Chains A and B, each alone.
Chain A
Amino acid sequence: MTNAISEIGETGCVFVIGSHTAAAHPIIGRQINRAVRNGAKLIVADPREIALCRMADIWLRHRSGTDVALLNAMARVIIEEKHLNTSFMKERCEGFEAFEVAVMASDLSLAEKVTGVPAEKIAEAARMYASVSSATILYAMGITQHSHGTDNVKAVANLALLTGHIGNPSTGVNPLRGQNNVQGACDMGALPDVLPGYQKVQDPEIRKQFEKAWGCRLNRSPGLTLTEIFEAAHSGKVKALYIMGENPAVTEADTSFIEEAISHLELLVVQDIFLTETAQLADVVLPAASFAEKDGTFTNTERRVQRVRKAIEPVGNSRPDWMIICDIAQNMGAKGFDFDSPEQIMEEIRTLTPIYGGITYERIDKVGLQWPCPDTEHPGTPYLYPERFTTPSGRGQFSPISYTPPAEMTSHEYPLILTTRRSMFHYHSTLSRKVAELNDLRGEEQVEINPVDAAALEIEDGETVKVISRRGAVQAKAKISRITPPGVVSMTFHYPETRTNVLTHAALDPIAKIPEFKVCAVKIEREIEYGAEYLGWGTGKD
């Protein structure tokens, strides 16, 4: 996020796109609520009628996967009606000319056709967003989990640059990160192309620094991304895989492919707190301790590094992940893994990761600090880019992009669009499902279907249906609801019993390599029970 979470409540306009905030990030959802109560305007762009729509001044119900068309159309209105922040653009941005050409290439009536949103409504939203003095855009997986997710993100950034809505308190572009420490995992270099602190693996200077600190030689070529890892495992290039605390057999797109890939491995080591679906496929399973049983830090979506503290002893014979890694490394004769506490590890992180330079356990004892925090005097950074951007020139880059349809379109055979969503009650697949009371509230998968489609398919509320895509089929209970628009069905992926991701499409965004969870084509069939009435002696109904 470019801003702090607490700044959302003070903003003049919140534009939420592709984020079911109230369910996925409830406390941020409450900040939006606070902003609206303080008089902020609220624009929501979502195909589904999420809870926020009720509060919204404008709800843009665009078709799934047409975000770029919608955002470009808004940009066009801003340019045409001269709501531009010209001084901001002159001082801080570049590349406007090419962008203008790209945006002007398609007009509003085309956007209306593509997105299904009336042109006047798009224009109204654009004016609303552009005319306030502070505005914040919030987006989440609804924007990134597409085969053209990177384009979506750029299209969002374009809007902010046009209006200068970035680089001030309560004003910015705020991706809401999903899992508790996905920000920290990225910061720490759990990525194939960067070392801790987003320092490029390919940069020889950077490598030299790390080689000196770690006392080893480093591989110069960037590694494989998650999806590429499974492809390489499938083709036999990767032979051994070590998974710490993840459950790709349920959470990744096209899970049957993942399982096949795993079966080709010579060695799979899984380290987790539960015997997950993935762990069941492993050769070795190492029991890890949960967040309540170890010390450390998490970094939240607003870049705040906060303490995690040990409250209880590890359950059973489990051990904290950091201890297990140290043990294995030391057993392999490696130097530099003789840590006694996570605090010592943070001290090493600090020396090698400039953005974490000023983060010490002592300083974050009470409230945490937001990076960049280069030294121990630095107070942390609540909002980013007050003066320059992190591009080489320091200027914000307009990106000329144009709308491309989702990788998988509906067809005669697969006429419905499936989009995945999150439930308020669960998170991903493992943790919350182990809480009996949460299962009691939402114990099984429900596929949301609009009454129009339900009527056409003669589906009744609560009946078990089969959802079929080009890749597989799963069963789930139908929930007839107007939340989902006609032509679209939606499911979560919290339930290993119903492997939604058997259906989803592994088409990757070419840059960010995120699978297209949000759009895939499916059909729905009834599970016909040949009950009494079909056999002719039933209820007397005809």
Chain B
Amino acid sequence: MTNHVSLTINGVNVKAPEGATILEAAQSAGIYIPTLCYCPGLTSEGTCRICLVKVENKKKLHPACRTPVKEGMKVITDDAEIEQVRRVTLELILSDHDFNCLLCPKSGTCRLQALVNRIGFDEQRLNRLNRVAKDLPIDTSNPFFDFNPNKCIQCGICIRTCREIVGVHAIDMAYRGYDLKVSTFGDKPFKESVCVSCGECVERCPVAALIPRKIEYPTREVKTTCAYCGVGCGLYLGVRGNTIVKVRGDSENPVNRGELCIRGRFGYKFVHSPDRLSSPLVRAYDPLERVAHGIDETVKPGKALTAPLVKREGKFVEVNWEQAIKYVASTLVHYKGDHFAAISSAKCTNEENYLFQKFVRAVMETNNIDHCARL
């Protein structure tokens, strides 16, 4: 059993497990403390100083995200002095930020923007502080996301994500002072680094510094399971019209707890590939038969598959579903028994595998069924 300690936050009595931080205690009690570099699930580094709070009998202000609770502690999260300090801290962050918010893709979901709205700033002081916004090149080497260092607030969340969650350690802080920036090893473009393009850092970046290449907002989300590997991560497909535009991890799923790998996050695009089969195809054997079957020859090689096809004379012709089903059914009748074999799929659902083996065993009267991957 973990022991609990009691403390007061803004005069309210709060109980928290031993070892918890002031921030966690406040959050569980429903008390808001502004944060920026804090990210649940990662170690706190306490670099941004936005979450500073007062602890009674202590001279300095303490970062709530790093200060552990103690028995009898008296914490103040908000007063004029704290407000003032937070404001100045925020102004320093803003001083070299390119805040062309209207044109920024993060506008509306940006955590910096939200803080500015909440804490506010002193325009005169900000103007005095204002340095020129950085004008560093944007790294667009990765096909899935861009890195715009000019918007980066050096919170370090991406670095901790990559190190602690993904275990890749592709990025770190490089250079010093004003030149401090997030960088891959040797400051190479992302594509040439050891980055595995999982997108976890992009997911957590509070601003538009690490940002998906193409942002489309889905109109609805459908909870489902990743179709790539046997881990079976839970995910939400974001759909707009009849198109999938975004995937996010399902934090409720005990397997991946919201995380995804590159294939799960970005690999869904095969669904909308122009190469999809769009009609049943039959192979054309001879022209007479073709006329007899009323089949029109319209398929060019390499065409997308979205309808059943039958192949003829080395060429495929499109047929409609009724023709295709009838053709297969009437032909298979002649192969009942051990002349027939079937290969099922480790990509299809349980229901489909069940049905397929039932078909093979009950209708085709054979046990010749297997699937491709034997592990």
- Docked-complex contact B282 and A284, CB < 8 angstroms: yes
Give A187 to B344 CA distance when docked, in angstroms. 12
A135 at the interface (CB under 8 A from B): no
Output the residue of B143, B229, B338 with the most chain A CB within 10 A. B229
- Docked-complex contact A306 and B351, CB < 8 angstroms: no
Shortest Cβ distance from residue A457 to the other chain B in the assembled complex, whole angstroms: 26
Give A279 to B301 CA distance when docked, in angstroms. 12
B357 at the interface (CB under 8 A from A): yes
B280 nearest in chain A by CB position: A286
Known: A27-B231, A183-B230, A306-B225. A437 touches B143 (CB 8 A): yes
The digit string for A279-300, where 1 denotes a CB below 8 A from any CB of B, is 1001111111011111011111
- Docked-complex contact A178 and B367, CB < 8 angstroms: no
B233 at the interface (CB under 8 A from A): yes
A331 nearest in chain B by CB position: B329
| List of B residues within 8 angstroms of A274 by Cβ | 273, 275-277, 305
| List of B residues within 8 angstroms of A532 by Cβ | none
Shortest Cβ distance from residue A167 to the other chain B in the assembled complex, whole angstroms: 21
- Docked-complex contact A436 and B367, CB < 8 angstroms: no
Interface residues of B in 313-360 (CB under 8 A from A): 316, 321, 324-333, 335, 337-360
| List of A residues within 8 angstroms of B32 by Cβ | none
Give A181 to B228 CA distance when docked, in angstroms. 9
B279 nearest in chain A by CB position: A317
Interface residues of B in 3-56 (CB under 8 A from A): none
For the A-B complex, the count of residue pairs with Cβ-Cβ distances under 8 Å equals 496
Give A163 to B83 CA distance when docked, in angstroms. 59
Give A242 to B371 CA distance when docked, in angstroms. 11
The stretch of B106-114, B128-136, B180-188, B258-266 in contact with A is B258-266
| List of A residues within 8 angstroms of B197 by Cβ | 425, 441
B157 at the interface (CB under 8 A from A): no
- Docked-complex contact A176 and B276, CB < 8 angstroms: no
B337 nearest in chain A by CB position: A219
- Docked-complex contact A246 and B343, CB < 8 angstroms: yes
- Docked-complex contact A301 and B230, CB < 8 angstroms: yes
Known: A285-B305, A291-B227, A332-B332. A190 touches B259 (CB 8 A): no
Known: A185-B344, A424-B261, A437-B144. A322 touches B352 (CB 8 A): yes
Contact of A284 among B196, B310, B360, B369 (CB under 8 A): B310
- Docked-complex contact A242 and B191, CB < 8 angstroms: no
The stretch of B97-105, B171-179, B238-246 in contact with A is B238-246
- Docked-complex contact A301 and B355, CB < 8 angstroms: no
| List of A residues within 8 angstroms of B273 by Cβ | 274, 434-435
| List of A residues within 8 angstroms of B261 by Cβ | 26-27, 424
Known: A181-B347, A272-B305, A331-B326. A267 touches B331 (CB 8 A): yes
Give A194 to B324 CA distance when docked, in angstroms. 31
| List of B residues within 8 angstroms of A266 by Cβ | 335
A132 at the interface (CB under 8 A from B): no
- Docked-complex contact B355 and A190, CB < 8 angstroms: no
| List of A residues within 8 angstroms of B328 by Cβ | 269, 284, 286, 328, 331
The digit string for B260-295, where 1 denotes a CB below 8 A from any CB of A, is 111100111111110111111111000000000000
- Docked-complex contact A311 and B222, CB < 8 angstroms: yes
Shortest Cβ distance from residue B226 to the other chain A in the assembled complex, whole angstroms: 7
A438 at the interface (CB under 8 A from B): yes
Give A298 to B70 CA distance when docked, in angstroms. 47
The digit string for B122-146, where 1 denotes a CB below 8 A from any CB of A, is 0000000000000000000011100
The digit string for A420-445, where 1 denotes a CB below 8 A from any CB of B, is 00001111001110111110110000
Contact of A30 among B166, B223, B267, B351 (CB under 8 A): B166
The stretch of A123-131, A221-229, A400-408, A462-470 in contact with B is A221-229
- Docked-complex contact A27 and B346, CB < 8 angstroms: no
Shortest Cβ distance from residue B123 to the other chain A in the assembled complex, whole angstroms: 43
Give A189 to B358 CA distance when docked, in angstroms. 9
- Docked-complex contact B279 and A316, CB < 8 angstroms: yes
The stretch of B73-81, B86-94, B148-156, B249-257 in contact with A is B249-257
| List of B residues within 8 angstroms of A320 by Cβ | 352
A222 nearest in chain B by CB position: B367
Q: Can you offer 21 A-B residue contacts whose CB atoms are under 8 A?
A: A27-B233, A27-B259, A178-B229, A180-B346, A181-B230, A185-B348, A186-B371, A245-B345, A283-B310, A284-B311, A287-B279, A306-B232, A308-B224, A316-B279, A316-B306, A317-B308, A322-B349, A334-B363, A427-B228, A435-B270, A437-B143
